[in-house]
Structure 1
Amino acid sequence: MPVEIKVGPPQLAIHQGYTVLVTEPDGQIAWATDKGLYFLDTRVISAYALYANGQPWDLLSSGAPASYGAKIFLTNKAFPSEGGDVAARTISLVVSRVVDGGMHERFDVTNHGRKPVHFNLEIALRSDFSDIFEVKSARIVRRGRIKTAWVEEAGELTTAYSNGEFTRSMTTRVRADMPAMYANGRLNFTLQLPPGASWSGSLLYDLFDGERLYAAPESCDLDAGSPQEAALQEWRERCLRIETGNAGFCRLFDQAVEDLAALRLPVESGGETHVVPAAGLPWFVALFGRDPLIVSLQTMTLNPEFAYATLEVLGAWQAKEVDAYRDAEPGKILHELRRGELATLKLIPHTPYYGTADATPLYLVLLHALWRATGDLAVVRRHLQTAEGCLSWIDEYGDRDGDGFQEYGTRSGEGYENVGWKDSGEAVVDVDGSNVSKPKALCEL
């Protein structure tokens, strides 16, 4: 029988580090939705819309020239104004965005008509500060308090959320040659443009996790001179280079190198920052166990940096005690670490959660493979204690009945039914599509 291939709805996604923006193709976020600006497992913008005198804009085209930046080209609908009716498609609005810590958003407005125009450019913002787990499950529970403060003299709008020890906030700074107004949930710029005239202004979104400020990038450029492009070029230079007359293969290889760069996730461990690969956009921009281990194995020839960093970070988080709620046992390598509200308040076990059957043996596989690939005996000595802990876990906890085979399952009431690489609740099915009940035997184990 033919296989139906489904393609998801179009969207525009950019990201860098722990900051992810997912919008409609026109750059907007229509409530209610799972799209938004996400930061450290929290949605800090849940609704976003642009208006000209209350009228929405029409999309011409949009795209993400880089993983960290996007451009959206819009034009106006017809709308009435103080100076008379403004004809449709006489005003252009180009929205440029760059994420790097926070987000920089620039507006370039041009009057292509023969008459002067006088109108309000309005940016409607809403922040629900929902945990990414609740957004994904479409079941959002409001627990804390949201406060918004507008400082007109500074042109700064701060929206903050707090619930016990968990806090997140976003400060939107206006950078323009005219003051902005804030009222009714909207930032407003009053524009007066003669025929052929243009205006530019920016909003800088600074993000705060309760301890550290992630400032918006100063520049909103996507050209070769931007700091983000310079960092990307440094990554390219550290990676394996291939020369071939096959232009198609070269394009494929170069794109793969850039895609890996886009997944780089900074993780602090032992007073240093290590860069490991994230598991995926947008739901899995976090530290995982299995995913960076496998990616490091697959990319070791390209660049061993991921392997060194992954061994360092996962070794630092190796379990030291039994905690059934988190499926933790001495020597076990983590499955997933989250930093949102639910994890901070211990409402989910991802602090970190250790419910994975394969990350611990994969740690040993990666350590051996890195030594074989580089001849670096120092890395083996550095992680020898972690490796011995992995071996002890396999013998003492992984093989629960002593038959020489590692067991498959969870001890946690909040744990995963499936703890292999296919770990969704419906991942392991029989030939008729029904869920397989335990005991389960995965070929990967």
Structure 2
Amino acid sequence: MDYRVIKENDLFLLTDKHGNIPKDHPYGPGLYAKDTRFLSQFELKINGKEPILLTSSGGDNYMASMKLTNPHIEENGEVELWRESVELERKRFIFDGVCYEEIIAKSYAPKPIHFNVSLHLDADFIDMFLIRGFQSGNTGERQATEVSDAKLVFHYNGADGLARATHISWNEQPTTITENSVAYGVELNHGESKHLVFAVAPGWNHEEPHVKEHGEALSGLLAQYENWNRSNPIVTSDRKDVVRLFERGLADLNVLQTDIGRGPMPVAGLPWFAVPFGRDSLIASLQALPFKPHLAKATLKTMAVYQGTKVDPWRDEQPGKIMHELRQGELAKTNQVPFTPYYGTVDATPLFLILLVEYVKTTGDLALLTELEGTVEGALMWIDEYGDLDGDGFVEYHQESSKGIANQGWKDSADSIVHRTGDFAETPIALAEVQGYVYQAKKGLSELFTETGKEEKAVQLNQEAETLKGKFEQAFWMPEQQFYAVALDKEKKQVGTLTTNPGHVLMSEMLQADRALHVSDAFVTEAFFSGYGIRTMAEGEAAYNPMSYHDGSIWPHDNSMILLGMSKLGHQAQAGVVIEGLLKAAGDFEYDRLPELFCGYNDQQPVVPYPVACSPQAWAAGTSLVFIQSMLGLTTNVLKKEVIVRPALIAEMNELHVRNIPVGKGLLEVKVTRQQNDFKVEILSNTTGLEIDIMN
């Protein structure tokens, strides 16, 4: 990871490892809020020179720190500063909409020294879409910069009529202030330190930001993290890599929480997708559900608020459809991009229903089901009426928006759905996994409606699901390959390239049993399995490319969806192989953090990173939580008073102990120990009021 990023709620800071935002850097570092860059330059210098980096750390997510020192500085033959005379430490965090930066300058020179510390600053207020190079557009204008002894304020009037500002204040009067810099003359004896604190806050419509005292803000942030950690499940094991990855996943999900009005929910990822995404937020919440069910509730309520209400081709919106992506920048607010929100996703709607079903089964929260009854009806209507574009019983997608997304499943790059000939499939396209999601959603809702006395609707949904199951086997199974097609194209021809998409259908339990086993077995062959995880496309296919975004790379979340299915179906040997591969990959990344994706080369070499992968990323973080659920074999249905533990520990793991598993209104503590040919399960604590069914 060549950058450092910290985030709190909807504000995040992206810098290089020095802690700087270099001016005009092509990657686009900056301080961002609501899809706008509020700092485009933030560079620390000593006597006008860039310090030398000693170490840089961002593993805590909520705080980053850098240690630097001065280069040798000489002017006209006179030494101004001997090299390594001054240690410069930068510490930063974000709390309550303000970014705080502490700079500590400490002298190690043997005699008193004098030097200059300066910050060079600017704000361009550029929209996220422009930074990423995806769009062009009409924008507003920079206004005069406000300079005073107490602060520096950059002003901007947006084309959307919104005034934006970046407020920069400090704890001590600078020696000099200009429109783009603040500087301090510092005198120190050996061992003495100078502490400087800066606060940077985005502002809107001339409102003054509320900046707290540095220590008070830090205490508030730490209290938030303590509260999150207090409710965390605790995993211990003799496989320390499993524990490290689980704890990393929880920490990353914490920093990726954002509340836009319905509670903290996971946004997609940093740095470019720190916004609610239908598919990403729903899947991350599903992964986290056995351990952090409140994320699912907030995600469901947020998605319900933005459910489609009308036919709007510009936004690919239709009544009942769950959104894809919500943006709040200048281009979105002026309707230059269709992201307020954009609805170009074929899978978010059934995934919404799946998450709701699983949330209710895990928590027993029927009140939320009642609250979202209208949303459920709308989603089912969309699936049957708008999702099925040609009335053949399958849900398809087709782009309407001129600035929308062509491929509208999770593999949404333009080259991701391709025939074995190398020709791209043409829309409308029916994806394999989407049919599985629809089946799972309808079967799950049928169960819930049976429990709540809606028998007629329950029977109808069950029948529709079974009909879809039969049609899917007939249309998608490829006898010669003993595998399922990734999709059907506009001519209803199979798109026969071997990909991971059918693996998601394992989770839906829609596949014929013997064929499901063929799919699981295929994923641990050399064609699919790299040694680090399952490739999105099998090696040997016409479009296979290990460096691609979707055609041979490895996505941890993709693997996790397959793992959920393998675990459900009892394919634990195959699941164990996949988990081991991803654990091996995680060890090659900074902080044992699985990124959004990495390249699909085999494990005869170190993991090859994908150059612009998000990290941290929500559904990559959630993958480690799926490992624990899979190894416990944990399934829950509070409404039926069913809690099942069917353990299968991975190789060289002899013990797995999990505390604070939320089930219904109580908590569960489970310990699994490897025996000679079996696993011993101990329920060490159970406040759920439910009996635990142990299956070996």
TM-score by structure 2 length? 0.58
CA distance in 2 between counterparts of 1:396 and 1:20 reads 40
Give, in whole Å, the separation in 2 of the partners of 1:246 and 1:54.
49
The answer for the alignment partner of 1:121 in structure 2 is 117
Quick check: 2:164–2:206 contact (8 Å CA) kept in 1?
no
User: Matches of residues 382-421 of structure 1 in structure 2 within 5 Å?
Assistant: 382-421=371-410
Q: CA deviation at 1:29?
A: 2.1
Report deviation, 1:90: 0.5
Q: 1:204 aligns with which of 196, 199, 210?
A: 199
Is the 8 Å Cα contact of residues 139 and 330 (structure 2) preserved in structure 1?
Answer: no
Question: What residue is the counterpart of 2:411 in the other structure?
Answer: 422
Deviations 1:180-209 (A, max 9, x none): 421262111111223332111111011113
Higher percent of residues as helix: 2
Query: Is 1:259 aligned with 2:248?
Result: no
Tell me what 1:30 maps to. Answer: 22
1:46-86 deviations in whole A, cap 9, x for unaligned? 12222222121111111114112111111112225899622
Matched residue SS, 1:239: coil
Matched with 1:299 is 288
SS in 2 for 1:242: strand
Structure 1 counterpart of 2:49: 55
CA offsets per residue over residues 256-277 of structure 1, 9 Å max, x none?
A: 2112111111111xxxx41110
Post-superposition shift, 1:317? Answer: 1.0
Match of 2:249, SS state, is helix
2:89 aligned residue? 94
> What code does the residue aligned with 1:198 have?
S
Q: What secondary structure is seen at the aligned counterpart in 2 of 1:332?
A: coil
8 Å Cα contact 1:104-1:220 kept in structure 2: no
Change (3 A) 1:80 1:184: farther
Q: Which residue of 1 aligns with 2:687?
A: none
| Percent identity over paired residues | 34
Once superposed, what is the RMSD of the aligned Cα atoms?
A: 2.4
The 1:148/1:287 distance shift into structure 2, 3 A limit, reads same
Taking structure 1 as the reference length, the TM-score comes to: 0.90
Partner residue of 1:345 out of 334, 337, 343: 334
Give yes or no for the alignment of 1:183 onto 2:178. yes
Equivalent in the alignment of 1:308: 297
User: What is the CA-CA distance between 1:344 and the residue it aligns to?
Assistant: 1.1
Shift of 1:432: 6.5
Q: CA deviation at 1:167?
A: 2.8
- Count matched residues: 429
Residue of 392, 412, 425 corresponding to 1:436: 425
Larger radius of gyration: 2
Aligned to 1:147: 143
SS of aligned partner of 2:227? helix
Deviation at 1:433, TM superposition (A): 5.8
Sort the Cα spacing of 1:140 and 1:388 in 2 relative to 1 into closer, same or farther, 3 A: closer
One-letter code aligned to 2:180: G
Amino acid at match of 1:327: D
One-letter amino acid of the structure 2 residue matched with residue 13 of structure 1 = V
Distance 1:141 1:113, change over 3 A: farther
Quick check: 1:41–1:339 contact (8 Å CA) kept in 2? yes
The answer to whether the 8 Å contact 2:147/2:179 transfers is no
Shift of 1:394: 1.3
Query: Does the 8 A contact of 2:142 with 2:157 survive in 1?
Result: yes
Deviation at residue 310 of structure 1 after TM alignment: 1.1
CA deviation after TM superposition for structure 1 residue 217, in Å: 5.5
Structure 2: which amino acid aligns with 1:16?
A: E
Q: d(CA) in 2 for partners of 1:139 and 1:384?
A: 38
What is the alpha-carbon distance in structure 2 between the residues aligned to residue 305 and residue 420 of structure 1? 26
Q: Which runs of 5+ in 1 are unaligned?
A: 1-8
* 1:318–1:332 Cα contact (<8 Å) kept: yes
Q: Distance in 2 between matches of 1:290 and 1:119?
A: 52
Matched residue type, 2:108? H
* Aligned 1:194-343 pairs, distance under 5 A: 194-210=189-205, 215-216=210-211, 218-219=213-214, 226-268=219-261, 273-343=262-332
Q: Does the Cα contact within 8 Å between 2:163 and 2:206 map onto a contact in 1?
A: no
CA distance in 2, matches of 1:56, 1:258: 32
Deviation, 1:111, is 1.6
